[in-house]
Amino acid sequence: MLRSQRIRKQGPEIDALRMGMDWQAEDLDKMQLVIASTYGNGHPGSFHLNKYVDLLKKSLEEKGVMGSRMTTSDICDGIAQGHDGMNYSLASREMIANMVEIQAMAAPYDGVALLSSCDKSVPAHLMALLRLNLPGIHIPGGAMAPGPDGLTLEMIGAYSAQLERGEITEAEFKQYQYSACPSCGACQFMGTASTMQLMSEALGLALPGAALIPSTSPALAEMAVTAGEYLIKLVKKGIKPEQIVTKKSFLNAIMVHAAIGGSSNALLHLPAIAHELGIEIKLAEFDEIHRKIPFIANIKTSGQYPTHYFWYAGGLPAVLTELKEYLYLDQLTVTGQTLGENLAQLAEFSYLKYMQTEAPAELPERRKIIYPAAEPLNKAGSLAVLKGNLAPLGAVIKHSAVDPAMHQFIGKARVFDNEEAALAAVLNGEIVSGDAVIIRYEGPKGSGMPEMFYTSEAIASDPVLNTSTALITDGRYSGATRGPAIGHVSPEAVDGGPIALVEENDLIEIDIPARRLNIIGFAGQKKTAAEIDAELAARKANWQQPKPKFNRGTLGLYVRHAVPAAQGAYLGLE
């Protein structure tokens, strides 16, 4: 018996209340699904989703299935940038997941379709799907089209820094602003939104080729309808997420992450998603996999092209095909078939035909967008996990977006307790070659773990600083971040991690090939390991933990209960 029908018998008011809407008596006996989306008017990643929600609902009704629309909208990290709104970003992931759980469990439903596009909404939906463990499917909201001459949103940060330095005019900057986002969908580079759409597909929770469909393409609507058909099959067969997602599924996703040059924020999201099924994902596993998987996606910001081109070049199925020898192809997916079986039967998914029939005339040769694994852009993935006395639990850097000159670096610490002060110092010319900018008290418990995007972009857009200055934080970065930016330093400052003990002119060593991040001296002078340990112990003895910045509401809850970034920064209530 369907879950909806079993619970319906327990609550005599349920039928009465549903008849107060647009239900008919015969609808009460039908399969009942939640259609949860992040539709809202907040940003272009969610603005268009209601169109696909309505389309899916109509398609389900034609098949004798009732779909109930539920909405918990998301925020946009781009709109939250540069002000205190960014503190809410990571916490919003938890709240969206919680609301989907509430909506799906407080009423009798048999399965769930989840429509989302962006940075926090996609991981939130995947967390909710695994937590609910109802038959379900994720429907990615697609990718935004690029602007004129390949203009993409992450370039606006660099143009803003150029405007501040007087390198472009206000009129030129406005022109870039007004034309960077010509359509709805996820931003056009391999940031967190694009990465997490691809992670959903790699985990087997979205249909083949569903991630990053151009939002302007009819393929998106066709995929959404097809997803509804597969969801009905999942409910009838009783296939739940716990049967689809395993540790091997996550290892597949991490392999994909390495190959696509994915956002460093996936190192927060994948462990948090895995936690919902009691699966542990360690930072060391990301590093180990990135060392052996080739980086093959020539997509901004580590590469040349917008995500629009990625899908037309074959999308994730093309990447998976190149990675076949590495992947666990026996993992089940929402099609009811394995990953390997899906790759062998791509012709069954009719919406994929648009990769050929609708490809832009200016599309480069496909192998220049998704490289052969045998001839990669880089033989060793795109990301590294660094450890040392500055980050005993680890720190993260996207080395594929770092100039090779900065892969080994020793610099003098310039210490800031918030991003605003650091950004002002960079823009005012106070940061010079050889500096290691430290921004602390911005971790999950410190400030909710906001992004340091503007500071990283101010450094990356300066041709001198980009190859001679490092940025290190217990906060995080935008998925669009490029340049020598190290984030997720753990333990964080508010917990008394070593980053809280750094002082002006301490010597900081970065060694990406050796995976090291260390304090190696004080006052500009190198010291022995014993001398460093003694000095850090003395500083720790004098350190006082600051009071929480937030004492009520969402952030008050989050900063008190968030687990370390190295574990996923989810709300730890166990």
The pLDDT-based confidence of 165 (bands split at 50, 70, 90) is confident
Query: Do 504 and 386 meet the contact criterion of CB atoms below 8 Å apart?
Result: no
The answer to whether position 478 is within a domain reads: yes
Mean pLDDT of 483-496: 94
Lookup: tokens for 447:
């400030």
CA–CA separation, 297 and 321 (whole Å): 13
**What is the per-residue pLDDT across 1-26, written as a single tens digit (0 to 9) for each?**
999 999 999 999 999 999 999 999 99
pTM: 0.95
pLDDT on residue 158: 82
The 8-class DSSP code of residue 552 comes to: S
pLDDT value for 484: 86
Reply yes or no on whether the pLDDT at 479 is more than 80: no
> Is 378 among the domain residues?
no
Strands 111-116 and 408-416: unpaired
**Per-residue model confidence as pLDDT tens digits over 288-319:** 999 999 999 999 988 999 999 999 999 999 99
What is the mean predicted confidence (pLDDT) over 484-505?
A: 96
Note whether residue 266 is domain-resident.
yes
- Count the domains in the chain: 3
266 pLDDT tier (thresholds 50, 70, 90): very high
Provide the mean pLDDT of the chain: 95
Residues 133 and 266 in one domain: yes
pLDDT digits (tens, 9 = 90+) for 353-409: 999 999 999 999 999 999 999 999 999 888 999 999 999 999 999 888 888 989 999
Specify the CATH number for the domain of residue 271. Answer: 3.40.50.2300
Q: Give the integer Cα–Cα distance in Å for 147 and 504.
A: 42
The reported pLDDT for the residue numbered 100 is 98
Instruction: Check pLDDT > 80 for residue 476.
Output: yes
Under 8 Å CB-to-CB from 376, ≥6 apart: which residues?
Answer: 294, 295, 296
Per-residue confidence at 134, pLDDT binned at 50, 70, 90? very high
Q: Is the pLDDT of residue 481 over 80?
A: no
Q: How many whole angstroms separate alpha carbon 167 and alpha carbon 458?
A: 13
Q: Are 155 and 141 members of one domain?
A: no
Distance between CA atoms of residues 39 and 74, nearest Å = 8
The angle at the Cα of 482, spanning 470 to 512, to the nearest 5 degrees, equals 55
SS3 of residue 261 by DSSP:
coil
Identify the domain boundary among 368, 396, 411: 368
Q: Give buried/exposed letters for 136-161 (b at 16+ CB in 10 A, else e).
A: bbbbbbbbbbbbeeebbbbbbbbbbb
Which residues form the domain of 545?
384-567
Summarize pLDDT for 204-258 with one digit per residue, the tens. 999 999 999 999 999 999 999 999 999 999 999 999 999 999 999 999 999 999 9
User: 154: which residues sit within 8 A by CB, 6+ positions away?
Assistant: 187, 189, 191, 300, 301, 478, 480
| 422 falls within a domain | yes
Whether residue 537 is found in the same domain as residue 489? yes
Domain match, 454 and 477 both: yes
CA distances to 51, 81, 458 from 512, in Å: 45, 28, 22
CA 497 to chain CA centroid, nearest Å: 25
Q: Is residue 446 a part of any domain in this protein?
A: yes
Are 194 and 324 within one domain? Answer: yes
396 and 529, same domain (yes or no) = yes
> DSSP alpha helices (H): ranges in 528-573?
529-542, 553-561
State the residue for tokens 């500071």.
455
452 part of a folded domain: yes
Query: Residues 94-104: what's their mean pLDDT?
Result: 98
For residue range 502-543, list pLDDT tens digits in order. 999 999 999 999 999 999 999 999 999 999 999 999 999 999
First to last CA, the chain: 33
In a domain, 554, yes or no: yes
Q: Where do we find the tokens 């795109």?
A: 382
Burial class (CB in 10 A: 0-12, 13-18, 19+), 450: buried
Q: Which residues are catalytic?
A: 478
Looking at the predicted structure, is the pLDDT value of residue 81 above 70?
yes
Are 154 and 195 contained in the same domain? Answer: no
Same domain, 133 and 155: no
Q: Which of 134, 155, 181 is the last residue of a domain?
A: 181
Choose between 454 and 546: higher pLDDT.
546
Which burial class, exposed, middle or buried, applies to 573 when counting CB atoms under 10 A from its CB (0-12, 13-18, 19+)? exposed
**Domain end residue (candidates: 368, 403, 431):** 368
pLDDT band at 454 (very low <50, low <70, confident <90, very high): confident
Q: How many CB atoms lie within 10 A of CB 273?
A: 34
Task: Say if CB 550 and CB 559 are below 8 A apart.
Answer: yes
Asked whether the bond before 307 is cis by omega within 30 degrees of 0, the reply is no
Let me know if residue 373 belongs to a domain.
no
168 and 212, same domain (yes or no): no
Average pLDDT over residues 153-178: 91
Q: Which pLDDT does position 480 carry in this prediction? A: 67
CA distance to 41, 268, 451, 524, per residue, from 3 (Å):
33, 33, 41, 66
* Interaxial angle between packed helices 553-561 and 89-105, expressed in degrees from 0 to 180 and rounded to the nearest 10: 100
Percent of the chain with pLDDT over 70: 99
Report whether pLDDT(160) > 80. yes
> Using alpha carbons only, how large is the chain's radius of gyration in Å?
24
Same domain, 461 and 398: yes
The Cβ of residue 63 has, within 10 Å, a number of other Cβ atoms equal to 11
pLDDT digits (tens, 9 = 90+) for 424-438: 999 999 999 999 999
Kindly state the average pLDDT of the residues 486-505. Answer: 97
Co-location of 544 and 416 in the same domain: yes
Give residues with Cβ within 8 angstroms of 22, minimum separation 6: none
What tokens appear for 359 in the block? 């490809």
CATH number at residue 406: 3.50.30.80
Q: What is the pLDDT of residue 357?
A: 96
Q: Are residues 283 and 394 in the same domain?
A: no
